[in-house]
């Protein structure tokens, strides 16, 4: 029996317009609550952005945000990762040598972007980071807890850069691709699956009672973890290899369709 459902957002739960069928989900969520099944949003995006998608229920569901660096359940912060300051400066110095890489530094209070980055990058970042500050120097920031770098790189160089960063900074950072020329640098071991594990321990839920949905490289660990793991039809090859099952694409409301089946609700797009 499923006791917990965890969904990635972009390319998985959301369509290309960054939306989802709210009335259909409302019906599903009502049934999940009736059956005491937990709903978890597991994304590389910022917590403040993620909760905006669920204004009516954000205080009663759980979020594994920033690719696992921040876990908040029913308004309670359960976990917040942290890079030590020297490590942050080491990575900033490394990235400064590659002008084609645009950088966002993510913290508990806010995300930060250097004013020298392109306007297009800054405007795009605002869609995913509702708390975003433009600063003159990322090495001279106000006090915050920093737990992730979000990078925009030339799309054709994404996988090569992931491999290079993981080799260069082994044990210090883990580079994961979220697709489309975007990648994150996260704390080793603090990925989405780790965030789900924190919630599972809180509620006494086994991997055999967990369903996960994803489409990108940053979903692989949580897909491998769950007995009921679903790769979206639009997902990467790595995701399809990691998952036990497949789901229709995000444009076909694949997550909602599969969860309806798991709940034995039937397929009703209302």
pLDDT at 268: 52
Q: Order of strands across the sheet with 182-186?
A: 132-135, 111-114, 102-107, 146-152, 182-186, 174-179
CB neighbours (10 Å) of residue 264?
Answer: 7
Q: Decide if 73 contacts 62 (C-beta within 8 A).
A: yes
Task: Name residues of the chain where pLDDT drops below 70.
Answer: 179, 266-270
Residues 6+ apart with CB under 8 A from 178: 10, 44, 184, 216, 217, 218
pLDDT at 9: 97
For residue 99, what is the enclosing H or E element?
A: none
pLDDT at 267: 54
Task: Report the C-alpha gap between 150 and 124 in whole angstroms.
Answer: 12
pLDDT at 155: 84
Q: Decide if 231 contacts 239 (C-beta within 8 A).
A: yes
pLDDT at 156: 84
Q: Residue ranges per domain, the chain?
A: 4-80+190-263, 85-186
pLDDT at 97: 92
Of 8, 10, 114, 184, the active-site residue reads 8
Is 8 one of the annotated active-site residues of the chain?
Answer: yes
Any idea which fold 85-186 has?
3.30.1240
- Compute CA distances 76 → 79, 146, 241, whole Å: 9, 19, 34
**What does DSSP say about strands 76-80 and 245-247: parallel, antiparallel, or unpaired?**
unpaired
Whether CATH 1.10.287.130 fits 4-80+190-263: no
Strand ranges, E, within the chain = 4-7, 38-42, 62-65, 70-73, 76-80, 102-107, 111-114, 132-135, 146-152, 174-179, 182-186, 210-214, 228-232, 245-247
pLDDT at 179: 65
Q: Order of strands across the sheet with 228-232?
A: 76-80, 70-73, 62-65, 38-42, 4-7, 210-214, 228-232, 245-247
Each residue's pLDDT tens digit, 45-101 = 999 999 999 999 999 999 999 999 999 999 999 999 999 999 999 999 999 998 899
pLDDT at 270: 45
* Assigned token pair, 32: 């999940």
């Amino acid at each position: 029996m499923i006791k917990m459902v965890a969904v990635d957002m972009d390319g998985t739960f959301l369509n290309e317009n960054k939306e989802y069928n709210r009335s259909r989900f409302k019906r599903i969520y009502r049934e999940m609550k009736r059956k005491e099944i937990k709903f978890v949003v597991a994304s590389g995006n910022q917590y403040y952005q993620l909760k905006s998608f669920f204004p009516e229920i954000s205080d009663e569901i759980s979020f594994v945000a920033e690719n696992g660096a921040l876990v908040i359940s029913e308004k309670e912060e359960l976990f917040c990762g942290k890079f030590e300051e020297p490590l942050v400066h080491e990575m900033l110095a490394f990235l400064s040598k590659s002008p084609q890489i645009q950088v966002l530094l993510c913290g508990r209070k806010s995300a930060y972007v250097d004013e020298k980055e392109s306007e297009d990058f800054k405007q795009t970042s605002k869609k995913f980071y509702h708390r975003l500050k433009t600063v003159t120097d990322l090495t001279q920031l106000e006090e915050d807890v920093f737990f992730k770098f979000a990078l925009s790189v030339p799309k054709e160089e994404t996988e090569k850069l992931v491999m290079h960063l993981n080799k260069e900074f082994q044990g210090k950072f883990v580079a994961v691709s979220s697709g489309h020329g975007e990648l994150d640098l996260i704390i080793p071991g603090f990925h989405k699956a780790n965030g789900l594990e924190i919630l599972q321990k809180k509620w006494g839920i086994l991997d055999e009672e967990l369903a996960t949905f994803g489409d990108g490289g940053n979903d692989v660990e949580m897909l491998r973890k769950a007995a009921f793991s679903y790769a979206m039809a639009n997902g990467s090859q790595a995701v399809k290899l990691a998952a036990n099952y497949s789901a229709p694409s995000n444009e076909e409301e694949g997550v909602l369709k599969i969860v309806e089946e798991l709940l034995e609700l039937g397929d009703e797009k209302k």
